């Protein structure tokens, strides 16, 4: 494939034969940078694809496309970007116990692992779908690494004595998704969209060496009215951390203080979907 990139989207390229994968980077006059990967059939031209992308970009971002860069994209790179709906990856919370009751079911005591770390001493139970850590005083049990609240219910039912439980709360729900295109991490337009959104306060998190491969945005002071409009019984998140990768991956860490119940994570799907929709549209 011979490719020429020029000002104003006048790049022209023809596919020699079959279907080719290309990566197209658009640079707009308002400093927005967009990246898209497309399959180009033999009957198509890159110019036609670029023209369509440029028209869409101008309509969304209210700015003309200044330069276009087109390069071949291997099938392996192309297949790394595929859209995925919101999927829950970690549900964390705690169980409060009565101090004068036996906390752990006798049947699982042989499976308990004693651990000692910087947070104290714990009695740990590790399962395929949920992990439990009970404090040395046996007044608090932390649960984590569950993808479904139903797995948490099952772990609590089998491992903890019901008479010892005072309350169960959830304090973090982590979900992931993937938008339909790669993301130019150096472009700050989506950061500005989050900062200017009246539904919350937001800022960009300064990158560290470990986080150089992603963009991080923190959201807090979320509007109570907006959360209430999404459904009954939702608690207002105290903090939302959003991590975005160059291949379109989105990880959202939602910090809340809510009573735990079966399918509690499903209540918060509208918040995750609203965040992913912004990233899908403005990157």
The domain locations on the chain are 20-78, 90-170, 173-281
In the chain (283 residues long), the average pLDDT of successive 10-residue segments reads: 37 49 91 89 75 92 91 77 89 92 89 86 91 92 95 95 94 95 92 96 83 87 96 93 94 96 94 96 92
Per-residue confidence (pLDDT) for residue 213, from 0 to 100: 82
Facing residues of 34 across strands?
A: 26
55 and 31 Cβ atoms separated by less than 8 Å: no
The CATH class, in words, for 173-281 is alpha beta
How many angstroms separate the CA atoms of 276 and 283, rounded?
A: 11
Length of the chain counted residue by residue: 283
pLDDT at position 10, please?
Answer: 39
Q: What pLDDT shows up at residue 210? A: 67
> Which residues make beta-bridge pairs with 204?
217
Query: In this predicted structure, what is the pLDDT of residue 190?
Result: 95
CA distance 264 to 280: 26
Q: State the Cα–Cα distance between residues 222 and 239, nearest whole angstrom.
A: 8
Return d(Cα 50, Cα 53) in angstroms, integer.
5
- Calculate the CA 248 to chain-centre distance: 10
pLDDT at 40: 79
**CA proximity to 179, closest of 51, 61, 35:** 35
Do 25 and 54 form a contact (C-beta atoms < 8 A)? Answer: no
Q: What whole-number distance in Å separates Cα of residue 283 and Cα of residue 41?
A: 25
* Angle (CA) 61 65 70, round 5°: 120
pTM (2 decimals)? 0.86
Structure tokens at 60: 């969304």
CA separation, residue 193 to residues 19, 104, 187, 280, 283 (Å) = 36, 48, 12, 12, 10
26 φ/ψ angles, rounded to the nearest 5 degrees: -105, 130
Q: Are 110 and 160 a contacting pair, CB within 8 Å?
A: no
How close are the terminal C-alpha atoms of the chain, in Å? 27
């Amino acid at each position: 494939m011979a490719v020429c990139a020029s000002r104003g989207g006048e790049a022209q390229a023809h596919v020699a034969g079959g279907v080719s994968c290309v990566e197209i980077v658009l640079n707009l006059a308002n400093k927005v940078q967009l990246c898209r990967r497309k399959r180009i059939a033999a009957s198509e031209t890159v110019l036609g694809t670029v023209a369509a992308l440029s028209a869409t970009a101008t309509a969304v971002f209210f700015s003309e496309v200044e330069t276009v860069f087109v390069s071949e994209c291997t099938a392996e790179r192309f297949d790394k970007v595929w859209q995925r709906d919101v999927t829950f990856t970690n549900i964390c919370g705690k169980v409060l116990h009565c101090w004068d009751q036996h906390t752990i079911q006798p049947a699982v005591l042989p499976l308990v692992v004693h651990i000692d770390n910087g947070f104290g001493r714990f009695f740990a139970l590790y399962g395929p779908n949920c992990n439990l850590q009970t404090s040395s005083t046996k007044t608090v049990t932390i649960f984590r690494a569950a993808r479904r609240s139903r797995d948490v219910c099952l772990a609590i039912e089998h491992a903890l004595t019901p008479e010892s439980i005072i309350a169960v709360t959830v304090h973090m729900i982590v979900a992931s998704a993937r938008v339909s295109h790669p993301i130019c991490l150096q472009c700050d337009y989506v950061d500005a969209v989050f900062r200017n959104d009246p539904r919350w306060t937001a800022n960009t998190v300064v990158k560290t060496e470990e986080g150089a491969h992603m963009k991080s945005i923190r959201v807090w002071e979320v509007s109570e009215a907006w959360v209430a409009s999404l459904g009954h019984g939702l608690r207002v998140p105290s903090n939302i951390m959003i991590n975005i990768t160059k291949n379109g991956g989105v990880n959202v860490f939602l910090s809340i203080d809510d009573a735990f119940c079966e399918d509690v994570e499903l209540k918060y799907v509208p918040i995750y979907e609203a965040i992913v929709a912004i990233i899908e549209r403005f990157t």
